[in-house]
Structures are given as C-alpha cells and as structure tokens.
Homo-oligomer: A and B are copies of this chain.
Amino acid sequence: MSKTSQQNTVTDANGASVIHTQAHTSGLQQVPQLVPVSPGGGGKAVPPSKQGKKNSFVDRNSDEYRQRRERNNMAVKKSRLKSKQKAQDTLQRVNQLKEENERLEAKIKLLTKELSVLKDLFLEHAHNLADNVQPVGTETTTTNAENNGQ
C-alpha cells in the first residue's frame, strides 16, 4: 500500500532542486519549470469561496519560490532541532526522576529502620516495667498513657 501509486506510480515531478549549497553537478537540463500543484484530484482543498484561480502551477525557478523554499527549509531544520532537544530533555528528566526516586527509597528505608529501633526500645521498656510490677501489683507508677496506634 502505498501511496505512491495507485495509478501510476511514479510520480512525477520532481524538479530539480538543488541544494543551495551545492550546485547541480551535472550538465543535465532542467526541464519542467512549471509544475502542477496540489493534486486536486479528489476533491478537497480549494477554499469554498474562491476558487483560486491562481496559477495552480508553481514556477520552480522563480526567485520567489526559491526564497520561500529556503525559508521553509530553515524553519524545518529549526523545528526539528527543537523537537530533538525536547526529546533529549525528556530522557534527562527520566534519569533525574529515577535518581530522585532512589534517594527517596533510601530515606524511607532509613526512617523505617529508625522507627523499628525506637519501637523495640519501647517494647523493652515495657517489659522492664512488667518485671517490676510482677510481684504484687500495687505500684503502678505509671503515668502511662498513650498508645498510639499504628
């Protein structure tokens, strides 16, 4: 499937376009100077209001044309550069976030451990109290108090 083709494949047109930087190296001729623009076949395009009577042909030799092309080429290059840059930034962002993540996980691990130690201390203490009170049961020196859950 492709687009190129349905009927005839090959396209036409191509003009000679040369890169500004370089000239055509060849001595071949340039043939079509005017090429049809916009296939039009189907039926779309063409503003409803005005049927452009414009040429519908583009003079590829025109200075005007070359100038437009060159401008567009620059714009394209610029746009693509920007796009690439953005993509790279995104990748960097990923790495950044990954690092941040690891840092956070480490911190969690630390806090968790600390918490665990404190809880153990509490338990130990509680046991000591229990040992002391075990005998009779009168002294409850406790100020006891907060159980926080969790």
Do A23 and B10 touch (CB < 8 A)? Answer: yes
- Provide the residues of chain B in CB contact with A40, threshold 8 Å: 22, 25
Inter-chain pairs besides A16-B20, A25-B39, A97-B98, 9 sampled, C-beta below 8 Å? A5-B9, A6-B10, A9-B41, A10-B23, A12-B28, A21-B41, A26-B35, A117-B148, A121-B122
CB distance from A1 to the nearest CB of B (A): 9
Residues A92-150 near B (CB distance < 8 A): 93-94, 97-98, 100-101, 104-105, 107-108, 111-112, 114-115, 117-119, 121-122, 125, 128, 143, 146, 148, 150
Q: How many copies does the complex hold?
A: 2
Looking at A23, A90, A97, which has the most chain B CB atoms within 10 Å of its CB? A23
* Complex: A150 Cα to B110 Cα, angstroms: 11
Size band of the A side of the interface? 35 or more
Q: Which residues from chain A sit less than 8 Å from chain B, CB to CB?
A: 2-26, 28-32, 35-36, 38-42, 44-45, 66, 70, 73-74, 87, 90-91, 93-94, 97-98, 100-101, 104-105, 107-108, 111-112, 114-115, 117-119, 121-122, 125, 128, 143, 146, 148, 150
Which of B7, B20, B104 is in CB contact (< 8 Å) with A10?
B7
Which of B39, B114, B146 is in CB contact (< 8 Å) with A150?
B114
CB distance from A57 to the nearest CB of B (A): 11
CB distance from A149 to the nearest CB of B (A): 11
* Complex: A74 Cα to B121 Cα, angstroms: 69
